Amino acid sequence: MNNPDDGSGPIAVAVVGSGPSGFYAAETLLRRHPNLHVDMFDRLPTPFGLVRGGVAPDHPKIKQVSLVFDKIARSPAFTFFGNVEIGRTLTIEQLRSAYHAVVLACGASADRRLGIAGEDLAGSHTATEFVGWYNGQPDYRDRVFDFSGEHAVIVGQGNVAGDVARILATPVDDLRKTDIAEHALDSLAGSRIRDITLIGRRGPAQIKFTPVELKELGQVRCCAALAAAEDLNLGASCAAEISDHRGDDAKKNVTLLRGFASAAPAGSGRRIWFRFLEAPVRINGTDRVKSVTLAKTRMEGPPFGQVAVATAQTHDLTCSLVFRSVGYKGVAVPGLSFDERAGIIPNLKGRCLYGDDPVPGVYVTGWIKRGPTGIIGTNRADSVETVESVLEDLPKMRSAPKAGAAALEASLRAGGGRIVSYGEWQKIDGSERSRGQARGKPREKFTIVGEMIAAIDAEAT
């Protein structure tokens, strides 16, 4: 679709959230319309969302996508407003009044719960807490994890669960050359964890690891990845799934797991165990985690339609740490409808809905639109769909001029916080790189917002 300027003034678009979905939306908007300006807002002073705060430190190649985002941010038609929280500094209604369109790309920041007794005992954590902690995300930098025990259990068998297992299993000297937070290095250096067990309520053909991520778990230095051969006997429906072209990744995963089943346990090293057809029913302990009660499950249903059904057979697994990695969900945005069950803002091709009707000028993209599925690149096509809806709606949104950020100056000042520009983020970035260079790392992140602001001011003097 071509969108030539029709002479009715520039288009002002606000994008809330500076992760991949937000940047891909900004990229498409700027490419598709010649007379459009994007203002991007993020509650942290730092851009890039989960690329900075969620990608594991031993996956630097994945983080290189931030170079693409940096190029977008340098466009003269783009402005970054960091340290601005929508719902606190500004409201959705204020954005709607200042912009022709508002695109929410705020992700899925809440964790799904197991809903079992003992879930909140000391020693029971969400994967999000741990990932944010070792990545230096300010919300989680003060979390405390007790690594004095020898066994950690991870509930979940997806890529995030794999990241947790890999960081727990990797020798700390191998992590020192990454951008892992210094406080995490110090704590992990004293870890006594020797066994890491990944629990899945379904079978080996249904695990959610990508084959690449699963293979990595078998390549951690001084660590053996292990599975029981009897757990890898597939029923008829599972065998049918991995024989189908839709099950290509599942077939690769089962092959990898069978290789793990033939591996020998590491002598004095660590071990990653894969267990299937088990679901947690209770986390046990008085003051802190002592064990997890697991119920055996069985798979029922046709290929690609199977569900895990709990049986009456249970057993206890002794452990001192539990990490829950069973998915994310979005958080409601004040002033908009929210689907609590799905954890998303109801929408039609990115148009926010109130009942069956679109909310004029408000759109969603990324996980808050579709749920926490896919990889970083998945957000590009998702954002394109949303932008198509924005561009289709522009003719009826351009009847009145919109001032964009200029209309919000008083509210931004009244918010009391320091608004961080993209140029100021670059000063934070340079300081982090310098700090990391002194330690032989690619960067040493600031983990407190006040330290980020101080780094900006230090560069200015």
Q: What is the pLDDT of residues 66-121, one digit of tens each?
A: 999 999 999 999 999 999 998 888 999 999 999 999 999 988 888 889 999 999 99
**Three-state secondary-structure class, residue 70:** helix
Record the pTM: 0.92
Position 4 confidence tier, pLDDT thresholds 50, 70, 90: very low
Residues 82 and 119 in one domain: no
Dist. CA 84–CA 68, nearest whole Å: 23
Residues 145 and 197 in one domain: yes
Residues 173 and 294 in one domain: yes
Other Cβ atoms less than 10 A from the Cβ of 275: the count is 17
Residues 129 and 41 in one domain: no
Residues 43 and 165 in one domain: no
According to the model, what pLDDT value does residue 140 have?
95
Residues 150 and 298 in one domain: yes
pLDDT per position as a tens digit, 326-367: 988 888 888 899 999 888 999 999 999 999 999 999 999 999
Establish if 454 belongs to a structural domain. Answer: no
Position 302 confidence tier, pLDDT thresholds 50, 70, 90: very high
| CATH code, domain carrying 369 | 3.40.50.720
DSSP conformation letters of 336-368? S--BTTTTB--EETTEEEETTEEEEEEEE-THH
pLDDT per position as a tens digit, 28-63: 999 999 899 999 999 999 999 999 999 999 999 999
Q: Are 260 and 252 in contact (CB under 8 A)?
A: no
Among 326, 358, 377, the domain-final residue is: 326
According to the model, what pLDDT value does residue 330 have?
87
Interhelix angle 20-32/378-397, nearest 10 degrees: 50
Establish if 446 belongs to a structural domain. Answer: no
Establish if 436 belongs to a structural domain. Answer: no
According to the model, what pLDDT value does residue 88 have?
86
6: pLDDT strictly greater than 60: no
According to the model, what pLDDT value does residue 34 have?
87
Q: Across residues 417-430, what is the average pLDDT?
A: 95
Q: Across residues 210-235, what is the average pLDDT?
A: 95
Q: Is 71 left (phi over 0), alpha (psi -120 to 50) or beta?
A: alpha
Q: Which domain holds residue 170?
A: 113-326
Residue 404 has what DSSP assignment? G
Position 3 confidence tier, pLDDT thresholds 50, 70, 90: very low
According to the model, what pLDDT value does residue 461 have?
66
Strands (E) located in 365-413 = none
1: pLDDT strictly greater than 60: no
The partner residues of 224 in beta bridges, in order of sequence, read 271
Dist. CA 63–CA 40, nearest whole Å: 20
Q: What percent of the chain has pLDDT over 70?
A: 97
pLDDT per position as a tens digit, 137-183: 999 999 999 999 999 999 999 999 999 999 999 999 999 999 999 99
pLDDT per position as a tens digit, 242-269: 999 999 999 999 999 999 998 877 667 8
Establish if 458 belongs to a structural domain. Answer: no
Q: Is the dihedral of CA 308, 309, 315, 319 positive or negative?
A: positive
Q: How many domains does the chain have?
A: 2
Position 277 confidence tier, pLDDT thresholds 50, 70, 90: very high
Select from 167, 143, 142, 140 the least CA-distant residue to 154.
167
**Integer distance in angstroms from the first to the last C-alpha of the chain?**
48
Establish if 89 belongs to a structural domain. Answer: yes
Where do the H-state alpha helices sit in 33-112?
Answer: 50-53, 60-63, 66-73, 92-98
Among 305, 326, 347, the domain-final residue is: 326
Residues 172 and 62 in one domain: no
pLDDT per position as a tens digit, 172-203: 999 999 999 999 999 999 999 999 999 999 99
Mean pLDDT of the chain: 93
Q: Across residues 299-311, what is the average pLDDT?
A: 95
Residue 400 or 218, more confident? 218
Establish if 78 belongs to a structural domain. Answer: yes
Residues 133 and 172 in one domain: yes
Residues 165 and 299 in one domain: yes
**Three-state secondary-structure class, residue 155:** strand
